[in-house]
């Protein structure tokens, strides 16, 4: 079961431009930008308390985030819950009949393993499970 909220994902067309509001006007600190090839996105984290905002920018028109932006415009994209064992959580949810986007965990940003739950299963909110694998 999730232990806390790990981050909140916000889809944006341009990380640097979107980050300006959060750094200039909310005083958050922008971490390094990292590319997640798997998802065809660039991501940047802005920590606040125990949680982080994750700005997500597509790097290709085929990215699921590019399709999201086309359909919805920039804005709230997903909520990510921290779990100890993402593979076990995916198996548990599948057994419980929860509709998954990912049938198995895959590689996320910053040395994590992640899996997405389908928004149809979670009140319309794209839901990410994230397991931190520790420092590389």
Residue with tokens 């804005």: 75
CB of 68 to Zn ion, least distance (A): 12
98 exposure class (CB count in 10 Å sphere: 0-12, 13-18, 19+):
middle
CB of 89 to Zn ion, least distance (A): 15
CB of 78 to Zn ion, least distance (A): 6
In 21-85, where does DSSP find H-type helix? Answer: 64-72
**Judged by CB under 5 A, does residue 9 bind Zn ion?**
yes
Helix (H, G, I), strand (E, B) or coil at 104: coil
Q: Using CB positions, name the residue nearest to Zn ion.
A: 9
Give me the residues that bind Zn ion (CB under 5 A), please: 9, 54, 80, 128
């Amino acid at each position: 079961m999730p232990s806390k909220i790990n981050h909140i994902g916000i889809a944006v067309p341009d990380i640097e431009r979107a980050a300006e509001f959060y750094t200039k006007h909310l005083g958050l600190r922008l971490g390094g930008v990292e590319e997640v090839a798997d998802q065809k996105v660039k991501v940047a984290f802005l920590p606040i308390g125990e949680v982080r905002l994750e700005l997500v920018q597509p790097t290709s028109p085929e990215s699921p985030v590019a399709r999201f932006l086309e359909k919805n415009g920039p804005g709230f994209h997903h909520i990510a819950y921290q779990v100890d064992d993402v593979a076990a959580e995916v198996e548990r949810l599948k057994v419980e009949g929860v509709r998954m986007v990912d049938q198995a965990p895959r590689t996320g940003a910053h040395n994590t393993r992640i899996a997405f739950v389908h928004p149809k299963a979670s009140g319309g909110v794209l839901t990410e499970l994230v397991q931190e694998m520790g420092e590389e």
